Amino acid sequence: MLALRGSPDSPDLPGFPAGVYYRGEVTIAVCPGSFDPLTLGHLDIVRRARSLFDEVILGVARNSSKSALLSAEQRVEIARAALAVSPGLEDVRVEIVPGLLVDFCRDAGAAAVVKGLRGGADFDAELPMALMNRHLVGVETVFVPGDPALAHVASSLVKDVARFGGPVDDLVPAGVGDLVRQALADRAARADGSAQAPPTTEGTGR
């Protein structure tokens, strides 16, 4: 539970009178995304969300509009491993979002969704979803400007660079680069196998 502003456990904050109370309840936020793969930019947003809320859940979405490189189970495993070795983030939970984000937030008791913004294009994409989530169940969205040093880091770019042999290990948590390269190699092998498979002949029925 959060302390009182102005109490011995919490110093006064500039711009707030002494003795202003927080709500007497634990606040929970969800950081949702496909995390395909998890990047250092994602961890930056989770870290800052953790400084704002008592509990944070990293929600791994099953996004039907995207063809994921890594399975949802792999992405959960990657996130848990990365958070376990990130100071201050060891208590962040990682769960799969099986359906609508608002249903997940309601079941988790989350008061807010936290999303990172790298620029105006991100805001344009996120605003309609934030408004819809509020319309459906009243959950608010907190937008956190991303660290400018990580503004170029996106999961899609990580995959594109890795696909053509470029270095990505400084953009993702330790070990994730190897998993991405292996997944890309496996996908390419499957594609080659499908292309080389002989056509199936069927009787014409004549």
Region 3-32: what's the mean pLDDT? 59
- Model pTM? 0.81
pLDDT at position 200 is 60
CA angle 143, 71, 131 (to 5 degrees): 25
42 as an active site residue: the answer is yes
Report d(CA 105, CA 179) in Å as an integer: 30
More confident call, 185 vs 191? 185
| Catalytic residue from among 62, 93, 106, 118 | 118
Q: For residue 159, what are the CA distances in angstroms to 33, 38, 154, 182?
A: 16, 11, 9, 11
- Is the pLDDT at 111 greater than 70, yes or no? yes
pLDDT at position 191 is 83
Region 125-138: what's the mean pLDDT? 96
- Is the pLDDT at 198 greater than 50, yes or no? yes
Nearest C-alpha neighbor of 61 from the set 121, 28, 104, 114: 104
Name the helix (H) or strand (E) containing 35: none
81-85, 134-138, 171-175, 188-192: least confident range = 188-192
Domains in the chain: ranges and CATH: 28-149 (3.40.50.620)
pLDDT at position 70 is 96
**pLDDT band at residue 1 under the 50/70/90 scheme:** very low
5 as an active site residue: the answer is no
| Catalytic residue from among 34, 75, 155, 159 | 155
pLDDT in tens, 139-168: 999 999 999 999 999 999 999 999 999 999
pLDDT in tens, 22-33: 556 789 999 999
The distance from CA 191 to its chain's CA centroid, rounded to whole angstroms, is 28
**pLDDT band at residue 15 under the 50/70/90 scheme:** low
Name the helix (H) or strand (E) containing 158: helix 155-163
User: What percent of the chain shows pLDDT beyond 70?
Assistant: 80
Region 82-90: what's the mean pLDDT? 97
Region 97-110: what's the mean pLDDT? 96
118 as an active site residue: the answer is yes
| Catalytic residue from among 34, 42, 48, 50 | 42
pLDDT at position 193 is 75
93 as an active site residue: the answer is no
Average pLDDT, the chain: 87
| Catalytic residue from among 66, 152, 187, 190 | 66
The residues with which 60 forms a beta bridge, in sequence order, are 33, 96
